[in-house]
Amino acid sequence: MKKVLIPVLAAALLLAGPAMARSKYKEMYKVDRHFYLSAGGSYLMERFEIEELSVAADDRGLVLDFDNGFSVLGRLGFRLNDVWSAQGELNWFDKLEWSGRDLLAPATSDSFELEMGTATLCVKLHPPVGAQTLFRPYVLAGGGFMYAKISPTVPAGGKRENGSNEEIDPVFKGGGGLDVFLTDWFAVGVEGTYNVGFHDLNEIQYVNIAGFCSLYF
């Protein structure tokens, strides 16, 4: 009888161990409020890949000076548990401008405006360091699409001609941040990401520093 019971008990313990661990994990990291809405703004620090454009500008005596810019953002997220989340984000940037300062004829300098926005879906990971606390660091990565409208103004035949071109191409983003839970339903946060456009927008790369408030429900 003992020869039969011992293997049965051993098998039961082997099967029960992972089940108990999963149950404990779910209990520790479960959340009562699965959805969240966030709103805020960000500051873009451009890292545009414009070597070819800079070389062409140098040949004309132009000095390209790109500006950084600000944006507004909104998010809708879903928390699977206190560790994993998924969030969709819309981010619209104010007009970014560069002026091609002409060293030979400043009055006929070129100018350039860039309007852009992104729609992304990211996976967000809070490191499993215990149940939800006041400070919650995280990392995230994901992608989506970037819209860009480029509007140059150039001198032509003694006049200044305007034009525009619109593109929608993929974008990737990755980075990290910190959520500060002031209550179980309200948090403030900061985040830094690096964003890279692809295809026709592969020159558009930038660091985005965001601040936001979040409501959990």
CA 185 to chain centre: 23
Angle at 24 between CA 12 and CA 185, to 5 degrees: 160
102 and 62 in contact (C-beta within 8 Å)? yes
Which DSSP symbol is given to 165?
Answer: E
Q: Please report, for residues 32, 59, 83, 85, 120, the alpha-carbon distance to residue 36 in angstroms, rounded to integers and kept in the order given.
A: 12, 52, 14, 10, 16
- Give me the pLDDT at residue 16, please: 44
- Give me the pLDDT at residue 15, please: 46
39 and 187 in contact (C-beta within 8 Å)? no
Closest CA to 120 of 191, 170, 70, 178: 170
Q: What is the mean pLDDT of each run of 10 residues along the chain (217 residues)?
A: 52 45 49 91 86 54 70 96 94 79 49 87 86 84 94 59 80 96 94 95 92 97
Any idea which residue has 């805020």 for tokens? 40
Q: CA 34 to CA 215: how far, in whole Å? A: 11
How are beta strands 84-102 and 159-162 bridged, if at all?
Answer: unpaired
- Give me the pLDDT at residue 96, please: 80
Amino acid identity at 117 = G
- Give me the pLDDT at residue 74, please: 98
Tokens of 131: 């149940």
- Give me the pLDDT at residue 120, please: 98
Residue 129 host element (H or E): none
- Give me the pLDDT at residue 145, please: 98
Q: CA 140 to CA 34: how far, in whole Å? A: 18
- Maximum C-alpha span of the chain: 104
pTM as predicted: 0.75
Overall residue count recorded for the chain in this entry? 217
